[in-house]
């Protein structure tokens, strides 16, 4: 089984309890803080990478025709589809989708709560190729040293840490800052971010 297949199997299983797990008050407070920063920049067409069960749509008004969610986990996508019927979803990794559909551009590109941590590092720069000229991106990688240990074995965590390239994140993307357990890479201007320093 490839590492990506293993990640998909883990999320297919976690999908059954994902929303219940993240309904705790502490996570909701984290969401509210996140979308205070992010929501003013969620505009136009939205590409939601690793969209999971649809958190973006729970906190933002996005028209059906303006939204595309990409995720390799069928379990996560079926929860998304039942909560937000009629929104377009593609079951795929970002990397595979990007190769299959290399032209489309989006005004907003999101990768929330760790989703970009699973991308091949070769695909980081592809996110920028998908952005329309005045568009904004907001990618939340797990911060250095953090991985959601409750769903992974120690071996998974070691493999995943090997994959995330923090130097490349800092050199590829415009601004980075730490938000709770995440290293956010974004082109939202620094003055609108809670912390302007590089990780
Ligand atoms: C921690 S969840 C976050 C889900 C959602 N963004 C949220 O904030 O609730 C990470 C998601 O990334 C997806 N994922 C894993 N590998 C991926 C890849 N290569 N491309 C796109 N999404 C991926 C997983 O299936 C999972 O749904």
Which atom of ligand 1 approaches the CA of 120 most closely?
Answer: 19
Alpha-carbon span 88 to 14, nearest angstrom: 22
If one residue of 39, 118, 150 were mutated to test the ligand 1 pocket, choosing by the most ligand atoms within 8 A of its CB, it would be 118
- 103 CA from centroid of ligand 1 (Å): 22
| Number of the ligand 1 atom closest to the C-alpha atom of 113 | 8
- Tell how far the Cα of 64 is from the centroid of ligand 1, in angstroms: 20
pLDDT reading at 160 higher than 80:
no
| Tokens 């490349």 belong to residue | 168
Atom from ligand 1 closest to the CA of residue 51: 6
pLDDT tens for 61-118 read 999 999 999 999 999 999 999 999 999 999 999 999 999 988 899 999 999 999 999 9
* Phi-psi group of 114: left, alpha or beta (phi > 0 → left; psi -120 to 50 → alpha; rest → beta): left
Q: What would the pLDDT profile of 115-136 be if each residue is shown by its tens digit?
A: 999 999 999 999 999 999 999 9
For 8-23, the pLDDT digits (tens) are 989 999 999 999 999 9
Cα(50) to ligand 1 centroid in Å equals 3
Which atom of ligand 1 approaches the CA of 73 most closely? Answer: 25
Q: Tokens 């991985």, residue? A: 147
| Nearest in space to 153 (alpha carbons), one of 20, 19, 13 | 13
Beta strands in the chain (DSSP E): 46-49, 67-71, 88-91, 106-111, 131-142, 175-179, 182-186
Q: Which fold has domain 3-192?
A: Rossmann fold (3.40.50)
């Amino acid at each position: 089984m490839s590492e990506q297949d293993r990640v998909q199997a883990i999320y297919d299983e976690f999908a059954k309890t994902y929303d219940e797990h993240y309904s705790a008050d502490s996570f909701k407070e984290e969401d509210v803080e996140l979308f205070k920063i992010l929501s003013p920049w969620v505009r136009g067409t939205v590409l939601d990478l690793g969209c999971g069960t649809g958190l973006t749509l729970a906190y933002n008004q996005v028209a059906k025709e303006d939204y595309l969610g990409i995720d390799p986990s069928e379990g996560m996508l079926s929860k998304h589809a039942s909560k937000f019927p009629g929104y377009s979803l593609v079951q795929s990794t970002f990397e595979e989708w990007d190769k299959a559909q290399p032209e489309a551009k989006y005004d907003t590109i999101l990768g929330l709560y760790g989703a970009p941590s699973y991308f091949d590092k070769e695909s980081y720069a592809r996110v920028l190729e998908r952005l329309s000229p005045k568009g904004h991106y907001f990618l939340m990688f797990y911060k250095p040293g953090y991985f959601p240990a409750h769903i992974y074995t120690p071996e998974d965590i070691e493999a995943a840490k090997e994959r995330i390239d923090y130097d490349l994140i800092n050199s590829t993307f415009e601004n980075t800052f730490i938000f709770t357990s995440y290293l956010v890479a974004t082109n939202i201007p620094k003055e609108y971010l809670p912390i302007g320093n590089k990780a």
